[in-house]
Structures are given as C-alpha cells and as structure tokens.
Structure 1
Amino acid sequence: MWFGSKQPVVAKASTVIQKPVEEVFHFVGDEFFANYPRWSPEVVELHRLSEGPLQKGTTARQVRIDHGHRTETTFAVSEFQPHRRICFTGLSNAFFCSYEFERAGSPGAATRVAFTFELKELEPYMRPFEKLIRAAVQDGVERTVKNLKGLIEGSG
C-alpha cells in the first residue's frame, strides 16, 4: 500500500501589485500583526509573543481553521530584510514560508510579491492524503497573493 512520500510539500505563487515596494512591504512586514489575518482569513487568533516591531527573532502564536481543521502554531521571523524579504519558520510545526518583494515595471510603480509555503514533512497519518494536501496548500498560496493584491491595491 502506498503511504505517500517524505518529500516536503512546497507551493509558490506570485503577483504584481500596483503600488511601490515600500508601501507593499509596509503592509506585509511593518503592519504584520494588524494585516496578516486580513489576507489570511483562516487565522482566527494571532498573538505576538515578543516585544517590539516585526524583526528577525520576533515570535508569535496563531490559531488557524483550514477546511474545518483547527491548528495552533508558534512561529518565528527567521529573516527580515526591509523592502526585500520576510521569512517565517514554524517552531511548534515544521513549516517555512517567505514573502519576497521586488520592484516591477517602471521605477516605483509596482511590486512583484512572491510567496512560498513549505511543509517540511507530512505526519505519517497524513501521507495517504498527500495529493489532496498539496492541492490545498497550492490553493491557499494562490489565494494569499490574490488577497494581498486586493487589499493593498484597494487601500488607496
């Protein structure tokens, strides 16, 4: 019987947002705790566990409800490069995600945001559902960049 692989589940998506990179980064990075539940509505609770602005080492706890399944995770900012890249690493669950920002089009006019999400390894009981999980994760990543684009471009 096939039980799936131990390969990570990786999903990527990108979009071009018609706002300058500084504005897009501010929305995602500087205002993370206010805005993350807006672009990821599966997040029903978000708590900062460390003081100060979002930066490398900042920790937080989130509760998500994805397809009726409740998960609670603790994560940390593993990389923070203003106007370029923010990465998060799961502390209680093996995941990694990154947001990458680069200027697109004429100078200052638009920003390409690339979002990557990786589950490092599926739990053994989840391996028979690997194809469904991969599809759901890819759908979630695509929805994330679509939501970011709509929120940021709509914010005037």
Structure 2
Amino acid sequence: MVKARANILIERRAEQVFGFVADDFVENYARWSPEVRQIEALTPGPIGVGSLLRQVRVDQGRRSDNRFTVTAFESPARLEFAESTDLFRTGYWLAPEGNQTRLEFGFELRRLELYMRPFEKLIRLAIQEGAERVVRNIKTLAERELATGSTEPGN
C-alpha cells in the first residue's frame, strides 16, 4: 500500500472551498489535476454519498480508466472516494481556521501489481509530489476565483 498526504492553508472560508472542491467536483477536478483527460458523473443530480463517477487519466504516459464512488460527503468538512475495484481511495478534508481553510488531500494506492513492486520508491515519490501539486493547484484556483467574502451569512 502506498499513501500520500499534503495540506495547505487557503485564504477562503471552508464553505467556499468545499463548494469549489465538492459541489463543483465534476466541473473543476480536471483543472487542479491536469492528468485527468475526462471526468463524468454516471449518476444523475448533484454528487453525494453513493454517486458513481468515471475518469480517464494519463499519468506519466500511462492511460487509465476508472470508476469510483463517493463514500463520504459532509459539507463543509470532507469528500472521499473509493475506486470500484478498491485499487485506490482518495479524500479531501477541510478545517476552518478563521476565514481561512486548511485543506488536506490524501491518496492511497491499495495494491501494487507484482511488476510495479521494484519501482515502489519511485511510485511513492510520484504520488507524494502529485498530492502536493493537487493542494497547491486548488489553493491557486480557489484564491483567484472565489471572492473574498465577509463572515456575515449570505456573503
């Protein structure tokens, strides 16, 4: 099993960041994870626990096509997914810090194929770098696109 975690402080409120990451996941995911070539919701309506999604990615020249399910959707605190064959799990966890948000992203590769085991150290490094890139990209996009709001409700 290979795990990676990264976190960052975003200069926006947790509700705003959660909306950007979770509520608008299908629209925004490929923007912060440029390896994603296609993302689609396979269940109608807004995403929530039980929603099924499909992604096509190209990571370091290797194409993958995965289906995954939303396993946790708790506004404004967490969004988690599990790949349909349990190959990977991933999650976004948010914690308010005043008018800012601590965003943590985690990725867990649940198993390595036998032919990949000699490259486990490189895979760990690539996955960790990817996790750090995800939180940096979300921060950049959220701070640029989400208005700085007051702490009053409705703003």
Fold in common (TM above 0.5): yes
Give 1:74 deviation, angstroms: 0.5
Q: 1:139 aligns with which of 129, 139, 145?
A: 129
User: Take 1:97 and 1:29, find their aligned partners in 2: how far apart are those partners?
Assistant: 13
RMSD of the TM alignment (CA)? 0.8
Runs of 4 or more consecutive aligned structure 1 residues displaced over 2 Å after TM superposition: none
Name 1:103's counterpart in structure 2.
Answer: 96
How far did 1:93 drift?
Answer: 5.1
> Gaps spanning 5+ residues in structure 2: where?
148-155
Counterpart Cα distance in 2 of 1:93 and 1:12: 18
The alignment covers a number of residue pairs equal to: 146
Q: Aligned partner of 1:135: which letter?
A: L
Aligned counterparts of 2:23 and 2:32: Cα–Cα separation in 1: 15
Identity of aligned residues (%): 45
Deviation per CA, 1:22-45: give whole Å up to 9, x if none.
000000011011000101010001
1:119 and 2:109 matched? yes
Query: Which of 64, 69, 74 is equivalent to 1:76?
Result: 69
1:86 to 67, 79, 91: 79
1:4 aligned partner = none
Q: Tell me how far apart the structure 1 counterparts of residues 132 and 122 of structure 2 sit (CA, whole Å).
A: 15
Among candidates 5, 9, 30, match of residue 23 of structure 2: 30
Matched, 1:48 2:41: yes
TM-score (norm 1): 0.91
* Partner in structure 1 of residue 9 of structure 2: 16
TM-score after normalising by structure 2: 0.92
Kindly indicate whether the alpha-carbon contact (under 8 Å) linking 1:74 and 1:93 is maintained by their aligned counterparts in 2: no
42-51 vs 85-94, greater mean Cα deviation: 85-94
Give the stretch that moved more between structures: 91-100 or 131-140: 91-100
